[in-house]
């Protein structure tokens, strides 16, 4: 059996390795256009930022072996041809035509073909972006990373990043670690616009601004300037900004030209359409990784989610099916996580704005017991539909969020409801979590809302109310000391500490909005006041969620 793989990235080489483990007689040839096979592109920002010393670190196994051409031949008996480009697929004759860096053409026959051509950077329509000058970089390969490091060695001081997505965020810290002045330009109103809801995004924005990153939101780079040899600046919303380096981080799109030319079906996302077995419209051709579209497990709709984790899973499924094992890849939830300046941020499933009648639980606290010396703050936003089925989760903080996110992934993928998650038997001890972990606390809050025990308003809508002339009363149930130290400076906001609420219940109007630091005290106050006939709402997540939002909207806060 002859198998040809086009693309030596995660999906292609995972499929080849799986096939080799299942069939030692198969002839395996991998065609890779780049210099490095099995390069971990996710690690490029760490190479730029100095955490890795050389590109070979991105090729190493856990035991230190370098996954180069030699490695794949000796260890796995896989022929990997680097700096060789596949230029044509002849489906009728089952041939792949290639050309190497010397211009020599060749042909490879196949019984099965695997297309894993990956992705390529999106190039926004910006004047000057196509100029052949130094200082315009798309961080997509090792060569791009080395161009950034070359600019740094030539004393580049200022960098502009176009796009505040995952690549832009990770690149910002890497450039900051090189002592560059970093400006991120994002056309949308908040960072990570496709990944996070606004209140979580504002937390991240505050964090990175505190580290010295300049954010230009609702802004557009209109032109890249140069002196004929190097970048000298950019025009942002009509304003000229000096810079030595422009990193284009506007996302990626699937690399499907070869598949299109071969007549393979392309899906509505612009990526190759495959079935659950990862077969294309040609039963002898499989595809996986960044060049294919996936099915979203919640919506059932095609989505494009270029992630190394997804590519590896798909590669295994491809290998199984070629070797006669019935294997399926069901789809994705769009799970993603990253870290910037010590803060971890992640999401899975749907955002609140994507869910009709969403019920949300926002909680803030520590990732382990408060008396444990290593406890750190985290924030969790859990999202359910109106029937209580879990559909999304977002988290951010200086503590451990990945295990909470993974619990949410498991619950969502298995079709759990909030009530199910409230009773998950999670591991507990003070060094690892609180007695009721925050992910369960978030599920409890969702369950309380579903049962009609509390009504809420989210941080963004509350901020907009405060910016209006609308008449309402906000009761801050924190202690007097907390209230005087820092609170919203608005006559509509009054302080009645929870400890005094029973004695001062007559001061509470028939309708009110309640707020505290993390939402716990305001919920307790709401339960008491509701039973006294008052109509009240709590601010989801309290000041922990509200503070970053109010700072963005310029709502005055301070000492009373």
Q: What is the torsion angle, in degrees rounded to the nearest 10, for the CA atoms of residue 437, residue 441, residue 444 and residue 445?
A: -170
Active-site hit among 42, 291, 323, 351:
42
52: helix, strand or coil: coil
Is position 149 within any domain?
yes
- Residue 150 located in a structural domain: yes
Round to whole Å and give the CA distance between 258 and 88: 7
User: For residue 499, is it within any domain?
Assistant: yes
Quick check: 265 and 291 in contact, CB under 8 A? no
Question: From CA 182, how far away is CA 114, in angstroms rounded?
Answer: 40
Which of 237-241, 339-343, 554-558 is the least confident region?
A: 554-558
Chain segment 36-82, per-residue pLDDT in tens: 887 777 888 888 888 777 777 877 777 878 888 989 999 999 999 99
Asked whether residue 236 is domain-assigned, the answer is yes
The number of domains in the chain is 4
What value does the mean pLDDT take over residues 362-367? Answer: 95
The domain that holds 388 is classified in CATH as 3.30.390.30
The residue to which tokens 């099916």 are assigned: 321
48 and 149 co-located in one domain: no
Residues 377 and 366 in one domain: yes
pLDDT at 560 over 80: no
Residue 435 is predicted with a pLDDT of 95
Report pLDDT digits (tens) over 365-404.
999 998 899 999 999 999 999 999 999 999 999 999 999 9
Lowest-confidence region among 42-56, 192-206, 463-477: 42-56
285-336 confidence digits (pLDDT tens)? 999 999 999 999 999 999 999 999 999 999 999 999 999 999 999 999 999 9
What pTM was computed for the model? 0.93
Pair 89, 104 in one domain: yes
Distance in angstroms (rounded) separating the CA atoms of residues 61 and 471: 63
The reply to whether 432 and 492 lie within a common domain is no
Domain finish residue from 263, 290, 322: 322
Selection from 316, 329, 324 nearest residue 16 by Cα: 316
CB of 216 closer than 8 Å to CB of 235: no
Give the model confidence (pLDDT) of 227-282 as tens digits: 999 999 999 999 999 999 999 999 999 999 999 999 999 999 999 999 999 999 99
Rounded average pLDDT over 197-224: 96
- For residues 259 and 88, the answer to whether their CB atoms sit within 8 Å is no
User: Whole-angstrom Cα distance, residue 268 to residue 258?
Assistant: 17
CATH at 504 = 3.40.250.10
Q: Are residues 115 and 257 in the same domain?
A: yes
Q: Residue 529 has what pLDDT?
A: 97
Is the domain of 56 the same as that of 114?
Answer: yes
CA distances (Å), 162 to each of 93, 156, 217, 248, 376, in order? 44, 17, 11, 5, 32
CA distance 154 to 170: 22
* Residue 131 located in a structural domain: no
Tokens (6 digits) for 252: 């990626």
* DSSP for residue 413: H
The answer to whether position 147 is within a domain reads: yes
pLDDT in tens, 10-30: 999 999 999 999 999 999 999
Residues 543 and 441 in one domain: no
Query: Which residue's entry shows tokens 């190497």?
Result: 100
Query: Which CATH number fits the domain that encloses residue 60?
Result: 3.50.50.60
Tell me which of 278, 293, 322 is where a domain ends. Answer: 322
Quote the pLDDT of residue 440: 97
Q: Which of residues 447, 481, 505 is at a domain's end?
A: 447
Whether 93 maps to a domain, the answer reads yes
Domain match, 313 and 361 both:
no
pLDDT tens digits, 147-175 = 999 999 999 999 999 999 999 999 999 99
| Predicted pLDDT at 57 | 80
Residue 524 burial class via C-beta count within 10 angstroms: exposed 0-12, middle 13-18, buried 19 and up: middle
Q: Is 42 a catalytic residue?
A: yes
Instruction: Output the six-digit token pair for 348.
Output: 């899975």
Phi, psi of 283 (to 5 degrees): -65, -20
Mean pLDDT over the full length of the chain: 94
Query: Does 200 share its domain with 185?
Result: yes
Mean pLDDT of 203-230: 96
CB 20 within 8 A of CB 76: yes
In this predicted structure, the answer to whether residue 3 has a pLDDT above a threshold of 90 is yes
Cα 176 from Cα 209, distance rounded (Å): 12
Q: Quote the domain boundaries for residue 460.
A: 456-558
Decide if 9 contacts 34 (C-beta within 8 A). no
Q: Crossing angle, helix 542-552 and helix 198-210, to 10 degrees?
A: 70
Domain assignment present for residue 83? The answer is: yes
Mean pLDDT of 81-89: 96
113 and 6: one domain? yes
- Rounded to whole angstroms, the Cα distance separating 379 from 519 reads 12
Residues 8 and 77 in one domain: yes
Cβ contacts of residue 452 below 8 Å, gap of 6+?
A: none
Block residue for tokens 């490029």: 44
Q: Are residues 18 and 91 in the same domain?
A: yes
Per-residue confidence (pLDDT) for residue 166, from 0 to 100: 92
Token duo for residue 61:
């196994």
């Amino acid at each position: 059996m002859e198998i040809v793989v086009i693309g030596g990235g995660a999906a292609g080489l995972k499929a080849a390795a799986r096939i080799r483990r299942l069939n030692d007689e198969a002839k395996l040839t991998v065609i890779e256009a780049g210099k490095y096979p099995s390069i971990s592109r996710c690690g490029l920002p760490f190479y730029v930022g100095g955490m890795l010393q050389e590109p070979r670190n991105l090729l190493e196994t856990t035991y230190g072996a370098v996954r180069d051409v030699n490695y794949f031949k000796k260890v796995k008996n896989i022929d990997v041809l680097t700096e060789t480009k596949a230029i044509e697929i002849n489906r009728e004759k089952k041939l792949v035509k290639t050309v190497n860096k010397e211009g020599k053409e060749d042909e490879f026959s196949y019984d099965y073909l695997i297309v894993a051509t990956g992705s390529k950077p999106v190039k926004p329509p910006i004047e000057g972006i196509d100029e052949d000058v130094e200082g315009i970089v798309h961080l997509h390969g090792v060569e791009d990373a080395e161009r950034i490091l070359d600019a740094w060695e030539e004393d580049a001081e200022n960098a502009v990043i176009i796009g505040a997505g995952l690549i832009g965020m990770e690149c910002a810290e890497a450039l900051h670690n090189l002592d560059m002045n970093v400006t991120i330009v994002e056309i949308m109103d908040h960072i990570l616009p496709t990944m996070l809801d606004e209140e979580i995004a504002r937390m991240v924005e505050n964090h990175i601004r505190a580290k010295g990153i300049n954010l230009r939101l609702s802004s557009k780079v209109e032109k890249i300037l140069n002196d004929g040899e190097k970048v000298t600046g950019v025009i942002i919303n009509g304003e000229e900004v000096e810079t030595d380096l422009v990193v284009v981080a506007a996302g990626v799109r699937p690399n499907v030209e070869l598949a299109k030319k071969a007549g393979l079906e392309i899906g509505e996302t612009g990526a190759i359409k495959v079935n659950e077995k990862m077969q294309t419209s040609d039963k002898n051709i499989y595809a996986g990784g960044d060049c294919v579209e996936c099915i979203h497990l919640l919506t059932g709709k095609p989505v494009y989610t270029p992630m190394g984790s997804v590519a590896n899973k798909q590669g295994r499924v491809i290998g199984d099916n070629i070797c006669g094992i019935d294997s399926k890849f069901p789809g994705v939830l769009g799970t993603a996580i990253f870290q910037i300046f010590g803060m971890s941020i992640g999401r899975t499933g749907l955002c609140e704005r994507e869910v009709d009648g969403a019920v949300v639980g926002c909680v803030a606290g520590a990732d382990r017991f408060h008396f444990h010396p290593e406890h750190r703050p985290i924030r969790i936003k859990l999202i359910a539909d109106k029937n209580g089925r879990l559909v999304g989760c977002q988290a951010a903080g200086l503590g451990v969020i990945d295990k909470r996110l993974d619990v949410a992934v498991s619950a969502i993928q298995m079709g759990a409801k909030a009530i199910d998650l409230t009773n998950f038997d999670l591991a507990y001890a003070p060094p690892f979590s609180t007695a009721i972990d925050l992910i369960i606390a978030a599920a409890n809050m969702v369950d309380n809302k579903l049962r009609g025990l509390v009504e809420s308003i989210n941080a963004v809508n509350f901020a907009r109310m405060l910016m209006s002339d609308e008449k309402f009363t906000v009761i801050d149930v924190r202690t007097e000391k907390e209230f005087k130290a820092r609170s919203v400076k608005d006559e509509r906001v009054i302080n009645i500490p929870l400890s005094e609420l029973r004695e001062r219940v007559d001061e509470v109007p028939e309708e009110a909005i309640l707020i505290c630091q993390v939402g716990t005290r305001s919920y307790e106050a709401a339960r008491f006041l509701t039973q006294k006939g008052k109509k009240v709402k709590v601010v989801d997540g309290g000041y922990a969620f509200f503070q970053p939002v109010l700072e963005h909207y310029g709502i005055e806060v301070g000492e009373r």
